[in-house]
């Protein structure tokens, strides 16, 4: 590895390749709620989420345009959940970053931008930020001098590109499967709406949602602390949204089997951020405020899409609660009406719907395998432990 060279991060960036978001006070004066030029926040560096809460108008953008993202920019969270990385893609809107983020742009004569991204995503790169940050999650804790003085070992540019291509090929496959799953779910959702909402028969039986499925509430898993042996990751609302992270809690695996969640289980958060999804992140333990939904008599897609159909109504009920964290009650499940075809019609529809759900689950399993392979290769390639032939 004699041809690999040690640098400080600040020495491999463009002259203006370190951009920290503007202070909140200068930004909030121009914030809009519904339209305009979007503001990238911390969550946009986590899982590549691209839903926006705030926007600014053109005049405010002209004032703050030096904070605008460009295609290929690395955005990194430097406040709260520090060290999360995402890349601005060509199709992403060209908004500005908030103070919770910074932009990094590599000097192309020294470093390959995708290689820098993977370095920052590696255990070493991420810990280089988190281990030297200070303060609490309520304040900005990854200071400029922390980021700029990270040590980075760089191979020659051709090898940087080869390493990034290996890792990108895995990420591209993951992205393809993820987009395919969205298409499959959208198709299944369209079928469901046509059959059960638009063309529903008035002869079909009406039942409450809790009559077609069992809703198992999770455990207060702080009462099952992890001590020895193999732990389980705790599935809370955060994990339902983003999967397991380094900050996910652990608990003892010695809990009743029915509270263990496996890929393919339907999980419904009935408190706080109401959401229903088919779990895809690996084995875990069901925490309170989440239902694991099962049925002995009806196919998975049937109760999954009926929950999704009633979700807007459930959210309105939760928002009306005079509490800090809105929720629904079991009576709300009983009051949510479901239309049930006779057995022959349901079997006909099931022959179309179940293969779509099975394909989604198969793709999710492939994604987990590819993610594990990428996460195993990443630190070995970035450190030079495994070399790529050029």
Strand-pairing partners, residue 37, are 56
**Which residue, among 338, 343, 346, 344, has the nearest Cα to 211 in the 3D structure?**
338
CA distance 234 to 73: 33
Q: What is the pLDDT of residues 27-64, one digit of tens each?
A: 665 566 667 899 998 888 876 667 888 888 888 889 89
The pLDDT of 164-188, averaged and rounded, is 97
Whether pLDDT at 136 is above 50:
no
The region of weakest confidence among 15-24, 181-190, 223-232 is 15-24
Whether pLDDT at 390 is above 90:
no
Q: How far apart are the first and last CA of the chain?
A: 14
Residue scoring higher pLDDT (242 or 240): 240
Q: Where are the domains of the chain?
A: 5-154, 175-370
CATH architecture under which domain 5-154 falls: Alpha-Beta Complex (3.90)
The region of weakest confidence among 29-38, 96-105, 154-163, 280-289 is 29-38
Q: How confident is the model at residue 231 (pLDDT cuts 50, 70, 90)?
A: very high
**Which residue, among 216, 103, 112, has the nearest Cα to 164 in the 3D structure?**
112
The sign of the CA dihedral 304, 239, 51, 71 is negative
In this prediction, residue 31 carries a pLDDT of 63
Q: How confident is the model at residue 137 (pLDDT cuts 50, 70, 90)?
A: very low
Whether pLDDT at 322 is above 70:
no
Q: Are 291 and 215 in contact (CB under 8 A)?
A: yes
Tokens of 131: 């281990």
**Which residue, among 369, 371, 360, 376, has the nearest Cα to 279 in the 3D structure?**
360
The pLDDT of 305-323, averaged and rounded, is 89
Q: What is the pLDDT of residues 191-212, one digit of tens each?
A: 999 999 999 999 999 999 999 9
The region of weakest confidence among 7-16, 48-57, 82-91, 372-381 is 48-57
**Percentage, residues of the chain above pLDDT 70:** 92
Question: Tokens 């509430």 appear where?
Answer: 217
Whether pLDDT at 368 is above 80:
yes
Same topology between domain 5-154 and domain 175-370: yes
The pLDDT of 70-88, averaged and rounded, is 89
How many residues comprise the chain? 390
Q: How confident is the model at residue 139 (pLDDT cuts 50, 70, 90)?
A: very low
- Three-state SS for the chain is CCCCEEEEHHHHEEEEEEEECCCHHHHHCCEECCCCEEEECHHHHCCCCCCCCCEECHHHHHHHHHHECCCCCEEEECECCCCCEEECCCCCCCCEECCCEEEEEECCCCCCHHHHHHHHHCHHHHHHHHCCCCCCCCCECCCHHHHHCCEEEECCHHHHHHHHHHHHHHHHHHHHHHHHHHHHHHHHHHHHHHHHHHCCCCCCEEEEHHHHCEEEECECHHHCECCCCCCEEEECHHHHHHCCCCCCCEECCCCCHHHEECCCCEEEECECCCEEEECCCCCEEEECCEEEEECCCCCHHHHHHHHHHHHHHHHHHHHCCCCCCCECCHHHHHHCEEEECCHHHHHHHHHHHHHHHHHHHHHHHHHHHHHHHHHHHHHHHHHCCCCCCC
The pLDDT of 355-373, averaged and rounded, is 96
Whether pLDDT at 141 is above 60:
no
Q: Are 294 and 266 in contact (CB under 8 A)?
A: yes
CATH architecture under which domain 175-370 falls: Alpha-Beta Complex (3.90)
Q: Are 266 and 300 in contact (CB under 8 A)?
A: yes
Task: Please give the distance of CA 315 from its chain centroid, rounded to a whole number.
Answer: 21
Strand-pairing partners, residue 217, are 291
In this prediction, residue 172 carries a pLDDT of 96
Q: Cβ atoms within 10 A of the Cβ of 323, count?
A: 8
What is the rounded average pLDDT for all residues in the chain? 90
The model carries a pTM of 0.86
Whether pLDDT at 140 is above 60:
no
The pLDDT of 268-293, averaged and rounded, is 95
Which of the listed ranges 50-59, 88-97, 314-323 does the model predict with the highest average pLDDT?
88-97
**Percentage, residues of the chain above pLDDT 90:** 71
Whether pLDDT at 265 is above 80:
yes
The pLDDT of 62-85, averaged and rounded, is 89
In this prediction, residue 272 carries a pLDDT of 86
């Amino acid at each position: 590895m004699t041809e690999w060279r040690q640098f400080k991060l600040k020495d491999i960036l463009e002259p203006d390749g370190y951009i920290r978001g503007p202070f909140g006070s200068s930004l909030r004066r121009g914030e809009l709620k519904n339209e305009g030029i979007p503001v990238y926040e911390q969550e946009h560096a986590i899982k590549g989420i691209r839903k926006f809460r705030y926007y600014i108008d053109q005049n405010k953008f002209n004032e703050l345009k030096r904070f605008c993202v460009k295609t290929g920019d690395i955005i990194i969270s430097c406040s709260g959940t520090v060290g999360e990385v995402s890349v601005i893609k060509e199709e992403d809107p060209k908004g500005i970053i908030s103070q919770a983020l910074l932009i990094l742009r590599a000097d192309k004569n020294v470093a390959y931008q995708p290689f820098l991204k993977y370095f920052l995503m590696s255990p070493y790169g991420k810990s280089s930020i988190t281990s030297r940050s200070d303060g609490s999650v309520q304040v900005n804790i990854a200071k400029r001098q922390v980021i700029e003085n990270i040590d980075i070992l760089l191979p020659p540019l051709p090898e940087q590109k080869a390493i990034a291509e290996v890792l990108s090929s895995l990420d591209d496959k993951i992205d393809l499967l993820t987009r395919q799953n969205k298409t499959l779910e959208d198709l299944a959702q369209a079928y469901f709406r046509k059959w059960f909402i638009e063309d529903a028969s008035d002869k079909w039986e009406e039942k409450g949602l809790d009559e077609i499925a069992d809703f198992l509430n999770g455990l207060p898993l702080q009462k099952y602390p992890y001590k020895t042996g193999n732990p389980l990751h705790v599935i809370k609302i955060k994990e339902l949204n983003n999967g397991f992270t380094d900050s996910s809690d652990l608990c003892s695996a010695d809990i009743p089997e029915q509270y263990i969640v496996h890929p393919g289980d339907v999980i419904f958060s009935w408190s706080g951020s109401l959401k229903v999804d088919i779990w895809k992140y690996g084995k875990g333990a069901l925490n309170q405020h989440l239902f694991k939904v099962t049925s002995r008599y009806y196919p998975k897609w049937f109760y999954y899409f009926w929950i999704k159909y009633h979700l807007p109504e459930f959210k309105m009920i939760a928002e009306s609660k005079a509490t800090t964290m809105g929720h629904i009650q079991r009576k709300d499940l009983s009051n949510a009406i479901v239309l049930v075809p006779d057995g022959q019609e349901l079997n006909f529809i099931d022959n179309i719907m179940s293969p779509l759900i099975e394909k989604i689950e198969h793709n999710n399993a492939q994604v987990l395998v590819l993610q594990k392979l990428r996460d195993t290769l990443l630190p070995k390639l970035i450190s030079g432990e495994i070399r790529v032939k050029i």
